[in-house]
Chains A and B, each alone.
Chain A
Amino acid sequence: MKKIVHFRTDTSYVSIIILIIILVIILFPIFSIVMTSFQKTRDIITYPPKYLFSPTLKNYIEIIKLGLIDGLKNSLIVGSFTILLTFIFGSPFSFIISRNLFKRKDDIRFWILTQRIMPPIAVIIPFIYLWSRVGLFDTYIALVTTYLTFSLPLYIWLSIESFKSVPQEIEEAAALEGCTLFQVFAKISIPIALPGLISALLFTFVFVWNEFFFVFALSSKLQTLPLIVASHGQAVYTSPWGTLSAFTSLLSIPPIVLMFFFSKFLTKYFIITE
Chain B
Amino acid sequence: MSISLWDLRAIGGLPGDSACYEEVIPSARELLATGRGDNDIPVTCSSLSLHSTHYAKMFMASFNLLLPNGYASGFEGRRFTHLLPIVTTESELKFQQTHHVHLV
Q: Does B bind A?
A: no
